[in-house]
Chain A
Amino acid sequence: MIPLVRFKLAAYTRSHRLLQPVIALCAMLAIFYSSPGPALESYSDSAALLIIVFAWAAKSLLDTEPPTQRLISMTAAGNPRREVVSGLAAAFTVNLGLATVAVVAPLLIRFGALPPPGDLARGVGLHLLGVCVGTALGALASAPILTSPATSLVVLFGGYVAMLLLSLTPIGGFLVPIMPWMRATNSGKLDEVLPQIAAATLLWSAAGVLAYLRLRRTRP
């Protein structure tokens, strides 16, 4: 499966589509870190707000391959499921790269001193949660699932806005708890709610990925 992931990554990077989420990432990082602030709070906001960039990157990677090439890759890989999982793995890999930039760049250019290891670990963990949600959302809005570009963009951005707004409601802690994790960080209570936030986020990400796998069975 690794050669197929490599093929998808090569096609994506050579197509220059990677530039779009990279530019969006740089713009958002410039806004987040335009004024000084505590490292953990900055990381928390960054991880939550970059979900849309991660989703965009996942969608654009999965959209890069022509539909007929996916059919060729399925037979070459020996199994359609391998092609679908390789696409998700390639999208996840790209998003890990983007998340690494989002974590490391402020260390180099913004934070005066290295944050405490605990805060750094929390920042990394929150970005990983963002990568999981973003990859799942991007996959569900990708061309193999939604062939209309207009519909897929509405699902991508609408889905993210809906997640943000629903996370403000009383049941927000059980959905993808984006706003609760930003609020908890700002009020210094992240550690208290982190297990619940991580569990809910991973659960919904897994549900999104399972839905994507299921839908791709008849949408090669």
Chain B
Amino acid sequence: MRLSKVSFRYSRRGPWVLRELDLTLAPGTVIEVTGKNGAGKSTLLRLLAGIVPPSRGTVSQRPRVVGYAPDVFPVGQPFTVTAYLTHMAEIRGISPDAIARLAERLEATHLLGQPLGDLSKGSAQKVGLIQSLLAPPDLLILDEPFAGLDAHTRGELPAMIGEIAAKGGTVVVSDHQNQLENFPGADHWLVAGGTVTTQQGERPKQVVIEVLVDAAEADEVEQKLQADGYTTRRTP
């Protein structure tokens, strides 16, 4: 899938949210998208999912089956979890058999009979994930999927993402919590100032070392460390 010179704004006179993006998404890749609030991450995900067309430029070779899980699942709907997911399966034209399997994997079986309106944030997030995975996606787009999830699902989700990528699917995850920071081989995209900076492969792992020095020597030590290329932060 390829984005060529893609720019986007919500109205003809509105400000550009994203400008002149040239991006390639190869099959089998996992991409973690980060950026400040309001940087345009969700807009970028919607462009990738085909929900909104670019104002300028083209998006080509988008895979056929797209799974999309929003950052906040809309619980204000008059259905039980099972009824809702069955409707989603019918809309996708697939059998609802996958519901039970996915619910078991995400420890959501006990939620199936509950009304959507009774779900907690984490439980609702699981329903959002299940609907996005009902048909094995060629392109899976997850907007802040880890928010509110329990420890089991936070651990299971990267494994599921890895399985989809291993089968040739592309996975794009907007991730404020950096849960995919150490995901093997993941690309990292930073959205800022209307552009996307890409970094391929594994990001170098960083640690914080605290160094205690005499106050009189602090300036000298800090200058030495900075001269060696390290980032320093002084605490009183």
A residues with a Cβ closer than 8 A to B are 3-4, 6-7, 10-11, 14-15, 65-69, 71-80, 217-218, 220
Contact B131 A76 (CB under 8 A): yes
Q: Is B74 an interface residue (CB 8 A)?
A: yes
Q: How far is the CB of A159 from chain B (nearest CB, A)?
A: 21
Extra pairs beyond A10-B87, A80-B52 (4, CB < 8 Å): A15-B78, A66-B76, A75-B49, A220-B46
* Bound: A79/B131 CA distance, A: 16
Q: Is B200 an interface residue (CB 8 A)?
A: no
Given A75-B67, A218-B10, answer yes or no on A68-B46 (Cβ-Cβ < 8 Å): no
* Bound: A3/B88 CA distance, A: 9
Contact B77 A220 (CB under 8 A): no
* Bound: A167/B2 CA distance, A: 51
Q: Report B41-65 CB contacts with A as 1/0, cut-off 8 Å.
A: 0000010011111010000000011
Contact B92 A76 (CB under 8 A): yes
Q: How far is the CB of B94 from chain A (nearest CB, A)?
A: 10
Given A71-B46, A71-B68, A217-B53, answer yes or no on A4-B91 (Cβ-Cβ < 8 Å): yes
Give 18 A-B contacts (CB < 8 Å), ordered by A residue.
Answer: A3-B90, A7-B91, A14-B79, A65-B77, A67-B74, A68-B70, A68-B72, A68-B74, A72-B88, A74-B51, A75-B49, A75-B50, A75-B66, A75-B67, A76-B92, A76-B131, A218-B11, A220-B46
Count contacts between A and B, CB distance < 8 Å.
Answer: 76
Given A71-B70, A75-B67, answer yes or no on A80-B91 (Cβ-Cβ < 8 Å): no
B87: which A residues are within 8 A, CB to CB? 3, 6-7, 10
**Secondary structure dominating the interface of A:** helix
Q: How far is the CB of A34 from chain B (nearest CB, A)?
A: 35
Given A14-B79, A68-B73, A76-B131, answer yes or no on A220-B91 (Cβ-Cβ < 8 Å): no
Contact B68 A75 (CB under 8 A): yes
A71: which B residues are within 8 A, CB to CB? 46, 49, 51, 68, 70
Contact B79 A72 (CB under 8 A): no
B88: which A residues are within 8 A, CB to CB? 72, 76
Please, which residue of chain B has its CB at the minimum distance from the CB of A2? Answer: B90
Q: How far is the CB of A5 from chain B (nearest CB, A)?
A: 10
Please, which residue of chain A has its CB at the minimum distance from the CB of B11? Answer: A218
A74: which B residues are within 8 A, CB to CB? 49-51
**Which 8 pairs from chain A and chain B are nearest by CB?**
A66-B74, A14-B78, A3-B90, A75-B68, A68-B74, A7-B87, A76-B91, A68-B70
Contact B68 A3 (CB under 8 A): no
Please, which residue of chain B has its CB at the minimum distance from the CB of A77? Answer: B91
Q: How far is the CB of A3 from chain B (nearest CB, A)?
A: 4
8 Å CB contacts to A: which residues of B11-50?
A: 11, 46, 49-50
Q: Report B105-134 CB contacts with A as 1/0, cut-off 8 Å.
A: 000000000000000000000001001100
The residue that B74 contacts in the complex, of A6, A69, A77, A218, with Cβ under 8 A, is: A69
Given A10-B87, A218-B11, answer yes or no on A75-B51 (Cβ-Cβ < 8 Å): yes
Given A7-B87, A10-B87, A71-B68, answer yes or no on A80-B77 (Cβ-Cβ < 8 Å): no
* Bound: A69/B53 CA distance, A: 18
* Bound: A14/B76 CA distance, A: 12
A78: which B residues are within 8 A, CB to CB? 64-66, 92
* Bound: A78/B49 CA distance, A: 10
Q: How far is the CB of B88 from chain A (nearest CB, A)?
A: 5
* Bound: A134/B74 CA distance, A: 28
A10: which B residues are within 8 A, CB to CB? 79, 87
B74: which A residues are within 8 A, CB to CB? 66-69, 72
* Bound: A118/B91 CA distance, A: 41
* Bound: A56/B68 CA distance, A: 31
Contact A11 B67 (CB under 8 A): no
